[in-house]
Amino acid sequence: MKKRFIFLLIACLLFALSCNRGETTTSNQPTIALVLKTLNNPFFLDMRKGAEETAQKLGVTLTVQAAEREVDVEKQMQIIENLIQTKVSALCITPSGSKEVVPAIVKANKANIPVIIVDTRVNAEALQAANGKVAGFIGSDNLAGGRVAGELVAKKLDGKGKVAILEGIPGHETGDSRLKGFREVMAKHPGIQIVSSQTANWERDQGFNVFQNILQAHPEIQALFACSDLMALGAVEAIAAAGKTGKIIVVGFDAFSEAREAVNKGTMHGTVAQSPYEMGKTAVENAAKLLKGEKIQEDISLGVQLVTKQ
């Protein structure tokens, strides 16, 4: 009886050891890391969803990390450096700082970890000066998106009026391109005057506070372009607090669900749609190709589309 018990005990131990070996093999599989600017924005939640569902379909391991706030560039750099130290197989990054991310990219290069940039381009001059390399870029044409927003505002104003702008983070390629595109269109309409252009750092509460101050200084404002929907929705709340709902044209950027609802209600007049789900999906697909030794397209531009009530 004792011999039989010992035999069963040894068999159980051998089975447990074999299971542990299997777990170790799984953990040693190639890992793709997706580093987002924040997870407090529906835009990046959609991007994560696209990445996670694609990773599951492809059977690859994916880890997603982000700083709490989009403006926390230092925290994002810490996340990237930690992932490099843990020896992830590939990095997909949405940079919080177009120049600030360059040293992290160089460290990944030295560790032979391929880097794909998503949504926000890296500053080309800074990257070249540091001899850094990225495998590819996946994102929207933000310049074209800014132009689309500008054309809607110009049309709604019939070429005459006073406009305010809520900018993104200064020096941030995404916001700068949207701002540039919008200003290009405004320059074609001498009857339109930009009376205030201030940053609200992509955040809703700052969108409320900054636009509330702008309204107090310029109560005659007839239209607002916000470089993101979160800032636009904050501005919509400031407009409501001032008793001016429906009296100021508001155009945002990103077209996530709450912004679309605001467009349907008429508290926003339009928003520029991107494809965050497709960005996440394409990033993981391309990272998986790189890990197989396959070539990828160096620049993938996903289209933008104007969303209005019509």
- For 64, the domain range is 28-139+275-301
Q: How far apart are CA 162 and CA 195, in angstroms?
A: 6
Q: Is residue 309 part of a domain?
A: no
The answer to whether residues 211 and 230 touch, using CB atoms and an 8 Å cutoff, is no
Task: Judge if 283 and 267 occupy the same domain.
Answer: no
Residue 210 confidence class, pLDDT cut points 50, 70, 90: very high
Task: Judge if 290 and 204 occupy the same domain.
Answer: no
Average pLDDT over the chain, rounded to an integer: 91
Task: Judge if 247 and 147 occupy the same domain.
Answer: yes
Q: Is residue 126 part of a domain?
A: yes
Residue 1 confidence class, pLDDT cut points 50, 70, 90: very low
Indicate the residue type of 159. G
Contacts of 78 (CB under 8 A, 6+ apart): none
Q: Is residue 121 part of a domain?
A: yes
Phi/psi at 294 (5° precision): -90, 155
Residue 25 confidence class, pLDDT cut points 50, 70, 90: very low
Task: Judge if 89 and 173 occupy the same domain.
Answer: no
In tens, the pLDDT along 234-291 reads 999 999 999 999 999 999 999 999 999 999 999 999 999 999 999 999 999 999 999 9
Q: Is residue 263 part of a domain?
A: yes
Q: Is residue 306 part of a domain?
A: no
Task: Judge if 117 and 130 occupy the same domain.
Answer: yes
In tens, the pLDDT along 166-201 reads 999 888 889 999 999 999 999 999 999 999 999 999
Q: Given this model, what pLDDT does residue 28 score?
A: 60
Residue 295: give its domain's CATH number: 3.40.50.2300
pTM: 0.82
Q: Which of 15-29, 37-51, 208-222 has the lowest mean pLDDT?
A: 15-29
The answer to whether residues 231 and 166 touch, using CB atoms and an 8 Å cutoff, is yes
Identify how many contiguous H helices and E strands the chain contains and give both numbers. 11, 12
Q: Given this model, what pLDDT does residue 21 score?
A: 30
Task: Judge if 201 and 295 occupy the same domain.
Answer: no
Q: What's the rounded mean pLDDT across residues 89-94?
A: 98
Q: Is residue 19 part of a domain?
A: no
Task: Judge if 168 and 261 occupy the same domain.
Answer: yes
Q: Given this model, what pLDDT does residue 172 score?
A: 82
Percentage of the chain lying above the pLDDT 70 cut: 91
Task: Judge if 127 and 150 occupy the same domain.
Answer: no
Q: Is residue 68 part of a domain?
A: yes
Task: Judge if 130 and 150 occupy the same domain.
Answer: no
Residue 71 confidence class, pLDDT cut points 50, 70, 90: confident
Q: Which of 19-23, 109-113, 266-270 has the lowest mean pLDDT?
A: 19-23
Task: Judge if 195 and 264 occupy the same domain.
Answer: yes
Q: Order of strands, edge to edge, in the sheet holding 249-254?
A: 192-199, 161-167, 223-226, 249-254, 270-273, 305-307
- How many domains does the structure of the chain reveal? 2
Q: Is residue 1 part of a domain?
A: no
- 13 has pLDDT over 70: no
- Give me the residue label for tokens 């018990």: 5
Task: Judge if 79 and 185 occupy the same domain.
Answer: no
Task: Judge if 90 and 194 occupy the same domain.
Answer: no
In tens, the pLDDT along 123-139 reads 999 999 999 999 999 99
Q: Given this model, what pLDDT does residue 22 score?
A: 30
Q: What's the rounded mean pLDDT across residues 150-166?
A: 97
Q: How far apart are CA 292 and CA 251, in angstroms?
A: 43
